[in-house]
Amino acid sequence: MATVVVIGTQWGDEGKGKVVDLLTARADYVARFQGGNNAGHTLVVAGKKIILHLTPSGILHPDKVCLIGNGVVVDPKVLLEELDRLQAFGVAVAPERLVISAYAHVIMPYHRLLDLAREARKGHSKIGTTGRGIGPCYEDKVARTGVRIHHLLDEASLRRRLEAVLDEKNFLLTHYYRQEPVDLEAVLDEYLGYGRLLAPFVGDVSTCLNRAIAENRAVLFEGAQGTHLDVDHGTYPFVTSSNTVAGNACCGSGIGPTKIDHVVGIMKAYTTRVGGGPFPTELFDTTGEHIRTCGGEFGSTTGRPRRCGWLDLCVVKDAVRLNGLGSLALTKLDVLTGLPVVRIAVGYRCDGAVLDGLPAEMERIERCEPIYEEFPGWEEDLRSVRRFDDLPAAARRYVEAIRDHVGLPFSIISVGPGREETIVVKDPFAS
């Protein structure tokens, strides 16, 4: 058996939820290792759709164990609501099937308030965050002033944590952002209540995963966001506040780097991005509109229209290097049906030079002009195709061009949102 990490190669929303749900059939354990409920991972099974923000996307498979690692930031209210939504969906999640790391940090009310207040104050230069308190929560983690899941299980220690931070948070909220302060007793009460409800799920994710790996069980790691939203390697400062790259599967779950066998990079057949930041292949014309409409490109978390553009292989090739990808999963190929031509960016022209990856400086990325290769489009509906050879010749050529430029094989090609609307070229667990 094996350990496989699934990550997004672009700016998020590549279809990680669908691919993780699909691959869970081959796994015993599925773990999230970073991000929080800024993620929105969509699963469509037997025509029914559910969007998951915190629970790993393996949860619909009744006999698999899902884990929320120490690297995730958990909003306990959102998680409890999600467990209720799953119950209404017909999936009762017993504590044997969901383990939440005691070390995971908790998103507190002041994190959400600060996230929103900061964005409002930035005006045009705002990042366009999801407003879920992700950045402020990670800031507190690194500043060593955070609240962790285990604090919710012990009144005295939660009180001590809040006493240590609330003065400063309330000063910022009231004097700088002109907001209402947060009341210690009310927060204590509310969060101890969440602690009581979550207590049966709290456990030692690192030990659980290491035991599973020692027993040769198959483990799947589910990335959130995408490589170019990584706080170090992404289009800084228009990024999220965690490391989204595959290496963080280790830090964010408590396993060693020698335990990872294979990394699958998910890429959409085109590019999207939500929120601010550079996007060299963005389309502002009817083709962009066509992609947004046919691809249903509206945020799974915030409902915002996603910015759409041509596939950018500079972005994907950077992701190959940053994540040590072993194979690719291509999603949403069906969405390009009906376009007379399709384009792929294979490099950039920038300040008189030709580049094949994104430069570090935001201002330089904004000056990058994509160099495109153009391919004929196709008219056929792809959603019933289950074998690569059954794709229309033009779609095959498009996929082969991507493979040749990137230099990696495809393990999966997705032709619709449904679990079954998939061409499995090679099982990543067999790599």
Minimum distance, C-beta of residue 299 to Mg ion, in the bound complex (Å)? 7
We find the least distance from the C-beta atom of residue 52 to ligand IMO, in angstroms, to be 9
Residue from 200, 237, 257, 296 binding ligand GDP (CB under 6 A): 296
Residue placing its CB nearer to ligand IMO in the complex, 275 or 359: 275
- Sort residue 297 into left (φ over 0), alpha (ψ -120 to 50) or beta: beta
Residue 225 contacts ligand IMO per CB under 6 A: yes
Instruction: Give 281's DSSP letter.
Output: T
User: Residue 12 Cβ, how far from ligand GDP at the closest point, in Å?
Assistant: 6
Question: Is residue 15 involved in binding Mg ion (CB under 5 A)?
Answer: no
Binding of ligand GDP by 136 (CB under 6 A): no
Helices 184-198 and 76-88, packing angle to 10 deg:
40
Rounded Cα distance, 191 and 158, in Å: 9
CA separation for the pair 16, 414 (Å, rounded): 11
Q: Tell which one of 20, 106, 114, 229 touches ligand IMO (CB under 6 A).
A: 229
Omega before 237 cis (within 30°)?
yes
Query: Among 13, 115, 230, 318, which one carries the catalytic annotation?
Result: 13
Nearer to ligand IMO, 38 or 323 (CB): 38
User: On the CB side of 319, how many CA atoms lie within 13 Å of its CA?
Assistant: 34
- The three-state secondary structure class of 285 is coil
Task: With contacts defined by CB under 6 A, name the span among 179-187, 240-248, 328-336, 389-397 that binds ligand GDP.
Answer: 328-336
* Region 368-427 residues binding ligand GDP, contact defined as CB under 6 A: 414-417
In the annotation, is 84 catalytic? no
CA distance 72 to 37: 9
User: Which CB sits closer to ligand GDP, 17 or 195?
Assistant: 17
Question: With binding defined as CB under 6 A, does residue 34 bind ligand GDP?
Answer: no
Which residue type is seen at 21?
A: D
DSSP-H helix ranges across 338-388: 362-366
Nearest approach, Cβ of residue 189 and ligand IMO (Å): 27
**318 touching Mg ion, by CB under 5 A:** no
What is the closest distance, in whole angstroms, from the C-beta atom of residue 336 to ligand IMO in the complex? 20
Applying CB under 6 A, does 5 fall inside the site for ligand IMO? no
Task: Name the phi and psi angles at 12, rounded to 5.
Answer: 95, 170
Asked if residue 8 binds ligand IMO (CB under 6 A), the reply is yes
Residues 30-59 that bind Mg ion (CB under 5 A): 40
Contacted by 130, from Mg ion, ligand IMO, ligand GDP, none: CB < 5 to 8 Å by type: ligand IMO
Choice from 2, 13, 283, 358 touching Mg ion (CB under 5 A): 13
Q: Which residue has the tokens 């994104």?
A: 358
Which token pair is 428? 């990543």
Strands 271-273 and 48-52: unpaired
Which uninterrupted H or E stretch holds 165? Answer: helix 155-171
Is there binding between residue 40 and ligand GDP (CB under 6 A)?
Answer: yes
Partner whose footprint covers residue 100, from ligand IMO, Mg ion, ligand GDP, none (CB < 5 to 8 Å by kind): none
Check residue 225 for interaction with Mg ion (CB under 5 A): no
Site for ligand IMO in 269-298 (CB under 6 A): 274-275
| Residue number, 23 or 202, with CB nearest to ligand GDP | 23
Q: Which residues does residue 41 pair with via DSSP β-bridges, in sequence order?
A: 52
Closer residue to ligand GDP in complex, CB, 45/187? 45
Return the beta strands (E) in 239-381 as ranges: 262-268, 271-273, 307-309, 311-312, 327-331, 341-350, 353-355, 369-376
d(CA 57, CA 41): 7
d(CA 328, CA 403): 9
Q: Give the binding-site size for ligand IMO (rule: CB under 6 A).
A: 23
**Tokens, residue 426:** 């090679």
Minimal distance in Å, beta carbon 300 to Mg ion?
4
DSSP track, 98-149: EEEETTSEE--HHHHHHHHHHHHHHGGG-----SSSHHHHHHHHHHT---BG
Rounded Cα distance, 193 and 76, in Å: 10
Asked whether position 300 contacts Mg ion by CB under 5 A, the answer is: yes
Q: Considering beta carbons, is residue 12 or 326 the nearer one to ligand IMO?
A: 12
Interface with ligand GDP, residue 355, by CB under 6 A: no
**Annotated catalytic, 41?**
yes
Catalytically active residues, by annotation:
13, 41
**What is the contact surface with Mg ion in residues (CB under 5 A)?**
13, 40, 300
**What is the contact surface with ligand GDP in residues (CB under 6 A)?**
8, 12-18, 40-42, 44, 296, 300, 331-332, 334-335, 414-417
